[in-house]
Amino acid sequence: MAALRQLSVEICVTQTEIADSHRTQSDVHVIQEFPLSRRFRAFDLAVSASGYNSFHELLRFGIPTLFIPNQDTALDDQEARARFASDKGLAHMLERVSVAAATALLEDLLQGEAMVANVPSVDRGNGAAGAAAHLRKLGKGAGHG
């Protein structure tokens, strides 16, 4: 948050409605709408863990993102996911957060959406069109039997 303040960026944080605390600093906007992806276009950038859903939604919806992987998960390799995005030039990643490192990466993300423009080059799509075509083909074959 200190890095965002240095860059004069308004800060929004997500919080579930069942969260224990609704305390926040006066310059921080709390957002309790889920799924947040419906409102992604309202944000210039995101700072996020690289959980499966957040990772894919932020990249697919074209939000410049600084991923900070949660390394305390037993079954989810968030670090590998964030590293993939960083290595492919799709997002930035920080393993250890410092104000100086975060400021530099966030400043880069604020320059535009150049990184997320690369997402289609690695996005294999969701398979819906291929599945529909296969079902049509199966359906045509069933009528001739």
Q: What pLDDT, on the 0 to 100 scale, is given for residue 143?
A: 63
Nearest to 94 by CA among 43, 44, 48: 48
Please answer whether residues 66 and 45 qualify as being in contact, where contact means their C-beta atoms are separated by less than 8 angstroms: yes
Domains and CATH numbers, the chain: 2-142 (3.40.50.2000)
Please answer whether residues 51 and 78 qualify as being in contact, where contact means their C-beta atoms are separated by less than 8 angstroms: yes
Question: Distance between alpha carbon 102 and the CA centroid of its chain, in Å?
Answer: 16
Q: What pLDDT, on the 0 to 100 scale, is given for residue 115?
A: 80
Q: What share of the chain is helix, strand, coil (3-state, %, to 5)?
A: 45, 10, 45
φ/ψ (deg, to 5) at 100:
-65, -45
CA-CA distance, 55 to 90, in Å (whole number)? 11
pLDDT tens-digit profile, the chain (145 residues): 999 999 999 999 888 776 666 666 788 888 888 888 888 888 999 999 999 999 999 998 889 999 999 988 888 999 999 999 999 999 999 999 999 999 999 999 998 778 878 887 887 777 888 899 999 999 887 665 4
Under 8 Å CB-to-CB from 112, ≥6 apart: which residues? 64
Peptide bond into 69 cis (omega under 30): no
Q: Which two tokens stand for residue 61?
A: 């919806």
Q: What pLDDT, on the 0 to 100 scale, is given for residue 144?
A: 57
Q: What pLDDT, on the 0 to 100 scale, is given for residue 20?
A: 67
pTM reported for the whole predicted model:
0.79
* DSSP code at position 78: H
CA-CA distance, 143 to 15, in Å (whole number)? 52
